[in-house]
Amino acid sequence: MISAWAVEAVALLDAEMERTPVTPLRRFPLPAGWEVRLWMKDESAQPTGSLKHRLARALFRQAIASGRIAEGSTVVEATGGAMAVAQAYFARLLGLPYIAVMPRRSSGEGVERLGGTCRYVDPPLAIYGEARELADRIGGHYLDHYVSAAAVDWHGGSLAEELFGQVGECPHWVVVGAGTGATSAAVGRRLRTHELPGRLAVVDPENSAYFPGWVSGAADYSTGMPSRIEGIGRPRMEPGFVPDLVDLVVPVPDAASVAAARRVRRDTGLTVGGATGANLWGALELVTRMRAQGIRGDVVTVIGDAGARHLRTCHDDGWAEGKGLDWRPHAARLERLLDHGESWTIP
Ligand SMILES: *Cc1c(COP(=O)(O)O)cnc(C)c1O
């Protein structure tokens, strides 16, 4: 039986969803005369500043409705970055203690500001075991978002739910990145179940398992290598990523993602990270294809997050140099395309 606390907690989450405005769809400027339009759904407008807000809400709702999180449960997760911030926000909304186990080098500032606690662990891959053990030890609940995202029930709160109504005609391509894979799966399911004509492309950074796994059809593909692009790319195919729903995976060089993140900042004023850069780069490849094939229509991609912290990564020359990312040739390529209308040749 569901407790009175759980009923109230679910109602709080649903009310938060109701009062959160639909995130804006921004037009990304392409050269005059092009018959393809490019749109970016701006998830940086979410209350916690990223598209993880939706997934965190849905995962809390599901864990509460199924009794895995009860009144007073300490919620534990293995993650730094945007997901930890979004979860800390919902834990605070529900009056639950929250602990994020994160790699030593990450910043827990956003989590602590929302009343959550951070535990720093080394090496980075030890966060998962540590979070599970900690939850066991204290009788808390380990949310385990990479696994639980596979069975997520969005209750109407997914990005796909909002997106298609905003564009008018169904876009020719929707372009997203994959971390847990949940966003791409939600978009893909929406396209299939509503028999929409649009297609789904996933952009994938270097070192990630999604591109080689999707191409080879090996569901257990693993690179064992961390992604340099925050938010997207995984060392293994995560269970939330559904390859059959994806029409195309576009590998994007990390240096191109950095160059494109800078371009998004220049053209929209939003300080986006590499994941949004990868989205723009992949979307522009598809715009180029459509133009080459004489297809008109819309391409939609996502601004996954934005914030001053990205000034210390993608937008910082020293950071890029330290990572060995030479973004300049890619920036020049973007200029040729966007400022001079010279189409890219597709490899
Ligand atoms: C997590 C994340 C993604 C990927 O979303 P998933 O639904 O987890 O696949 C894309 N962009 C940014 C900025 C993210 O933080």
- Ligand 1 centre to CA of 173 (Å) is 18
Instruction: Give a yes or no: residue 346 inside a domain.
Output: no
- Ligand 1 centre to CA of 37 (Å) is 23
Q: Which of 117, 151, 185 represents a domain boundary (last residue)?
A: 151
| Residues 137, 80 share a domain | yes
pLDDT in tens, 82-101: 999 999 999 999 999 999 99
**Is the pLDDT assigned to residue 345 strictly greater than 80?**
no
Instruction: Give a yes or no: residue 345 inside a domain.
Output: no
| Residues 43, 182 share a domain | yes
Ligand 1 contact via 275 beta carbon (within 6 Å): yes
Instruction: Label residue 168 by pLDDT band (50, 70, 90).
Output: confident
The count of structural domains within the chain is 2
Ligand 1 contact via 182 beta carbon (within 6 Å): yes
CA gap 73, 89 in Å, rounded: 15
Ligand 1 contact via 181 beta carbon (within 6 Å): yes
Q: What angle do CA 228, 54, 98 make, to 5 degrees?
A: 80
Please say whether the beta carbons of 26 and 264 come within 8 A.
no
| Residues 234, 163 share a domain | yes
| Residues 60, 47 share a domain | no
Ligand 1 atom index nearest CA of 186: 7
Per-residue pLDDT, averaged over 27-38, amounts to: 96
| Residues 186, 284 share a domain | yes
Instruction: Give a yes or no: residue 347 inside a domain.
Output: no
Mean pLDDT of the chain: 96
In whole angstroms, how far apart are CA 240 and each of 62, 78, 86, 181, 210? 15, 16, 18, 5, 11
pLDDT in tens, 306-343: 999 999 999 999 999 999 999 999 999 999 999 998 87
| Residues 240, 141 share a domain | no
Smallest Cα–Cα separation from 243: which of 304, 195, 200, 303? Answer: 200
| Residues 251, 113 share a domain | no
- Ligand 1 centre to CA of 239 (Å) is 14
Instruction: Give a yes or no: residue 34 inside a domain.
Output: yes
| Residues 135, 165 share a domain | no
- Ligand 1 centre to CA of 294 (Å) is 31
Q: Which residue's alpha carbon is nearest to atom 14 within ligand 1?
A: 231
At 121, which CATH number?
Answer: 3.40.50.1100
Q: Is the pTM of this model over 0.95?
A: yes
Q: Looking at residue 346, what is its pLDDT? A: 62
Ligand 1 contact via 232 beta carbon (within 6 Å): yes
Smallest Cα–Cα separation from 207: which of 225, 221, 219? Answer: 225
Q: Which domain, by its residues, includes 165?
A: 4-51+155-340
- Ligand 1 centre to CA of 183 (Å) is 7
In degrees rounded to 5, what are phi and psi of residue 120?
-100, 135
* Beta strands, E only, the chain: 25-28, 36-42, 75-78, 98-103, 117-121, 141-142, 173-177, 199-204, 248-251, 297-303
